[in-house]
Amino acid sequence: MYSKMLKTEEALQFIKERFSTELSKQLSLTKISSPIAVLDGTGINDDLNGVERTVKFPVKALQEKSAVIVNSLAKWKRLRLKELGIKSGEGILTDMKAIRPDEDFTPIHSIYVDQWDWEKHIETEERTLSVLKANVRQIYETLRITEIAVSMKYPEIKPILPEEITFIHTEELLQRFPTRSAKVREKEIAKEHGAVFIIGIGGKLSSGEIHDGRAPDYDDWSSENSDGFTGLNGDIIVWNPVLESEFEISSMGIRVDKTTLLKQLKGKDLLERTKLQFHQLILNDQLTQSIGGGIGQSRLCMFMLRKKHIGEVQVSVWPDTVRQQSIEEGICLL
């Protein structure tokens, strides 16, 4: 068992180094440091779907002010992009580690989250669907290059990603599978194409529902795009043959400007957030226009190594029932 675990650990380091180096090259990113916690009440922490609890704690040296473990660095990165004076067409890349206590335990979910967070400076006129798609293709090419490198180092793993990623809007997906749930729609399209980018996550569909939740103050999911739909964001999803299901690798998008920020906050009845520090910077045109996202490190490694459980590629907290089931199924949790 221990030799198997050690082999996995070595493979994890290989994949992470290979992927992050290639991603930096593809997107012109510079690797930087990042925080594990930020002060509460500033609007900087990612609210995810808007309902998840955060890990909060008082800081003695700051007169007991509350700090929170980051959920992601979606907003912090945009601040840092401006502070570092990153030129247009270039960006930053960092390792994000977080604790999400409201995550349910599943083979692909843990309370521990690790991802590559990246952010890239773009011009106002580049807030377009074509720019979004171009960046998606570069990330996907990084995935393919990494998978080929893994297969060369570990011949038992055969490349399965298609040459091209397929783009589809959430509304198109709804029209194609009108009687299916959002997750089943994702499963069907991922199985058909192998790799897809689903556009417009967070915006309301013709059914009156949303495909999936997305916070209203970082991704732009409401602007009209050149395909005749709405949204300049989305998720990269691949087909996972081990789990026989859809498998989200990345969430990303062009960030809100002041117009879309107000529109999306109003739509979610959250206009009180306009008083927060981060939101004030956007409303006063003091932040760089950008595109960015998060790419799950454990998710990526799980896919590349064809593992059945995320606990095989990360060290986390698991209930006894999960540990016992893993033993019965021959799954080696780290």
What CATH number should be reported for the domain whose range is 2-328? 3.30.930.10
For residues 112 and 130, what is the distance between their CA atoms, to the nearest angstrom?
34
- Integer CA distances (angstroms), 214 to 2, 46, 202, 268, 308, in order: 40, 10, 5, 11, 27
- Local structure of 246: helix, strand or coil: strand
The model's confidence at residue 46, banded by pLDDT at 50, 70 and 90, is low
Extended strands (E) in 112-241: 112-121, 166-169, 195-199, 233-240
The structure tokens 């459980």 sit at 309
Are the beta carbons of 211 and 172 closer than 8 angstroms?
no
Rounded to whole angstroms, how far apart are CA atoms 320 and 271?
A: 43
Return the structure tokens found at 270: 């959250």
Q: For residue 282, give the nearest of 213, 234, 219, 203 by alpha carbon.
A: 219
pTM for this predicted structure: 0.90
The pLDDT of residue 1: 56
d(CA 22, CA 204): 35
Quickly list H helices, 124-169: 129-153
Per-residue pLDDT tens over the stretch 126-141 = 999 999 999 999 999 9
Quote the pLDDT of residue 49: 56
Q: Write down the pLDDT at residue 143.
A: 97
Q: Among residues 112, 73, 113, which one has the least CA distance to residue 93? A: 73
Residue 184 dihedral angles phi and psi, to the nearest 5°: -70, -35
Contact call for residues 119 and 81 (beta carbons, < 8 A): yes
Q: Per-residue pLDDT averaged across 277-298, rounded?
A: 93
Residue 303, CB-side half-sphere exposure with 13 Å CA sphere:
28
pLDDT digits (tens, 9 = 90+) for 201-251: 999 999 999 999 888 998 999 999 988 999 999 999 999 999 999 999 999
Identify the residue with better confidence: 102 or 306.
306
Estimate the crossing angle of helix 129-153 against helix 297-304, to 10 degrees.
50
Q: Are strands 166-169 and 195-199 parallel, antiparallel or unpaired?
A: parallel
pLDDT level of residue 314 (50, 70, 90 thresholds): confident
Residue 2 has a pLDDT of 56
Mean pLDDT, range 1-17, rounded to an integer: 84
208: left (phi over 0), alpha (psi -120 to 50) or beta: left
Question: 79-97, pLDDT tens digit by residue?
Answer: 999 999 999 999 999 999 8
Average pLDDT, the chain: 90
Distance CA 191, CA 246 (A): 7
How many Cβ atoms sit within 10 Å of the Cβ of residue 13? Answer: 11
| Residue 151: both structure tokens together | 């297969």
* For residue 312, pLDDT beyond 90: no
Cβ contact 313:299 at 8 Å: no
Q: Which residues are catalytic?
A: 46, 100, 115, 235, 248, 251
Q: Inform me whether the pLDDT recorded for 169 exceeds 70.
A: yes
Half-sphere exposure of 177 (CA within 13 A, CB side): 16
What pLDDT was estimated at residue 134?
97
190 and 238 Cβ atoms separated by less than 8 Å? yes
